[in-house]
Amino acid sequence: MNDTLKYAYYPGCSLHASAGEYDLSTRELFSALGISLTEVPDWFCCGATPAHNVDELLSLSLCAKNLELAEQVEGDLAVACASCFSRLKFTQHTLEENATKRKQVEKAIDAPVKLDGKVKHLLEILAKDLGLERLAASVSKPLAGLKVACYYGCLLTRPTDVPNLDCPEAPTIMERVVEASGAETVAWTHRLECCGANFTLSRPGVVLQLTNAILDSAKAAGADCIMVGCPLCHGNLDIRQKEIENVYSAEYNLPVFYLTQLVGLSVGLAPDQLGLNAMIVNPTPLLKEKGLL
């Protein structure tokens, strides 16, 4: 068996902007683990929520186009952003099931639709392709004593039969990955609740209310920090955390890590390789306290 895992990499728009640290830590972690990532050349936006919200055909076409572009690069398609992951999987699922929509999309992209390529979220690559045992074997600085609240949000697991990443109601894949890195995980009630997602732009009040409940639940469960696999969740939990504390007179001070940042720490990557300084809620005091810095 060829030991090198090779993937085409679809970072998505956020990772080239507000979630730069997710992109950075992904590249650094994968290179440290000996996994090769080659960015899909000239990829487009997947359309995210706004496209499928008002124009499903456009959403499917954008994703189908990206799947076509990804064919140029060897390997399954690795996706970091939960929203891009969800849209690409939805597209594969829909076009597989619905011949009419498939024909329309083929006309829109002026090319045959290819659905045999596998789309994988980073979690899947770490937990299944690399495997938890090999991941654990790469850990040089176990995250001992760090209590992590794994936050799935909506799009990694829902709906049933589409992303097929894990059970939509009782997933464990994030916990398994971060536990392999030596961290502890907490059982909490809001790990699958919605953060309000892209209402952060149009109706931020909604986001504050929903995200407050999530932070409150993680704090109540005794978590030190939150781990996410989605830039939008990250934005709402991290960037808006101070504002939420002000509005709801609460004190959370919960650093919000991308999964690649925490796993990256455990394999011995330095803070600047993981973009820890880009986090709004400063993780340094916590990591120092736990002896991880």
Output the CA–CA distances (angstroms, integers) from residue 50 to 42, 80, 198, in the order listed.
Answer: 21, 19, 9
> Within positions 239 to 278, which residues make up the interface with other proteins, using CB under 8 A?
239, 243, 277-278
Interface with other proteins (CB under 8 A), residue from 31, 72, 98, 164: 98
Q: Rounded CA gap, 86 and 274, in Å? A: 25
Residue 247 Cβ vs other proteins, minimum distance, rounded to whole Å: 13
- What angle, 0 to 180 degrees and rounded to 10, lies between the N-to-C axes of helices 259-266 and 20-32? 40
In the window 146-175, what residues touch other proteins (CB under 8 A)?
Answer: 153-155, 158-160, 167-170
| Among residues 204, 245, 250, 253, the one that binds other proteins under rule CB under 8 A | 204
CA dist., res. 62 & res. 47, Å (int): 7
Name residue 266's amino acid: S
Spell out where the chain has E strands: 5-10, 35-39, 76-79, 119-121, 147-150, 184-185, 225-228, 256-258
* Cα(184)–Cα(141) distance, integer angstroms: 14
| Contacts (CB under 8 A) with other proteins, residues 19-48 | 19-20, 42-45, 47-48
Which one of residues 151, 199, 257, 258 is an interface residue with other proteins (CB under 8 A)?
199
Indicate the DSSP class of residue 144.
T
Instruction: State which of residues 52, 102, 120, 219 lies at the interface with other proteins (CB under 8 A).
Output: 52
Residues found near other proteins in the complex (CB under 8 A): 13-14, 16-20, 42-45, 47-58, 61-62, 65, 94, 97-98, 101, 104, 107-110, 153-155, 158-160, 167-170, 189, 193-194, 196-199, 201-204, 206, 210, 239, 243, 277-280
